[in-house]
Structure 1
Amino acid sequence: MSAVAERHIMQVMDWTKYSLEEWLYQFGAWQYSSSGTCGKSINPIAVAMDQAVVKRKKFKLGVRKQRQVIADYLASDDGEPKARATKYTCQITDDEARAVQRLILDMMGRSEVLDEWLDAVIDRYFYGNSWSDMVTESRTGMDAKYDVKCGLAALHVRYPFILYTKGNVDSANN
């Protein structure tokens, strides 16, 4: 086995290729680059990521609300995140996408607050949601922006080798 094969995908990536936000947008584009006839992703990694996000969001609710969410989910296909029109075209490989996915997955489950921030990052960058789409009963539009900013900052602190541009959160996809 070669020395390169023994190294982890996160170590062999050229993280200078894109900024942190661009990597996240690229993962979103990659996630939906393989779609079936009904527009749903047939990419097995993307499907697994979607299922993990949906399950995690359901279990944060109380038992009563959780049952209602499950009933609603079974009655429709609204439970699965939908791809949005995006200005990004997938320009990353499957291995690069797996590495970007690891950025998020490795940080999840550490705290409820961090998970909320990462959920906002996923909603914004992976699923291409607008700020208004991210508003929920418990999150205002301003909360969504702060959650995304905090999520990006947390990712930057954990992965300082990925370029991160300080300033406003990308508002190109209002």
Structure 2
Amino acid sequence: MNAVVTITGAVNWSKFTLEEWLYQFGAWMNSVSGTCGKSINPIAIAMDQAVIKSKAAKINLTKSEIIANYVASDEDKPKLQRSNITCLISDNEARAVQRLILDMQGKSEVLDEWLDVVIARHFYCNSFAKIADEHHKSLMDVKFDNKAGLAAIYARNLFIKHR
């Protein structure tokens, strides 16, 4: 019998803890940037576009309106913050980390809110204060959302080390 190997099954998840994998993905996204700090990494761009499309779908925009808003607006585009984290993962490992998040998005509105905070914190290295300001939430709510998002990811992927 032939077993199908998925991208997440081909990764040695014992290299890092869950949070370290998420920070490594952020470093990987940041590792290939062009002019003005914008990512030229095709997977990072696809991830950003997926976030924008999911937010636009929640407010029932047409495809042409989504494209127009994406081209015309800088505020919806996630901004990469420079961090001191050195990228230590390969492209395939980055795809696997991305898959962890994408497989969970769209399941529920609450889970999506938690994942938005996890993405902003770990992929884009934003401070809790900045995330709270952008999401119009209290600092404590953002910290709780981050913990709940990490717990949800971990609960679904028990093969990843947790602190």
Structural mapping, 1:1-174, within 5 Å: 6-61=4-59, 75-135=72-132, 136=134, 138-165=136-163
Instruction: Give the TM-score taking structure 2 as reference length.
Output: 0.87
Q: Deviations over 1:30-82 (max 9, x none)?
A: 0121111221000011001011112222333487xxx8x99876554222111
- 3-state SS of paired residue (2:96): helix
Alignment match, 1:168: none
2:81 alignment partner, SS class:
coil
Preserved contact between residue 17 and residue 161 of structure 2 (Cα < 8 Å): yes
The unaligned stretches of length 5 or more in structure 2 are none
| Cα contact 2:52–2:70 (8 A) shared by 1 | no
Give the Cα–Cα distance (whole angstroms) in 2 for the partners of residues 99 and 137 of structure 1: 27
Aligned length: 159
Q: Name segments (4+ residues, structure 1) moved above 2 Å.
A: 3-6, 57-63, 69-76
Identity level (%): 57
2: CA distance between counterparts of 1:4 and 1:24? 31
Q: CA RMSD in A?
A: 2.5
How far, CA to CA, are the matches of 2:97 and 2:21 in structure 1? Answer: 7
Q: Flag the structure with more relative contact order, 1 or 2, with Cα contacts below 8 A and sequence separation at least 6.
A: 2
Structure 1: give runs of 5+ residues left out of the alignment: 166-174
Cα distance in 1, alignment partners of residues 135 and 48 from structure 2: 21
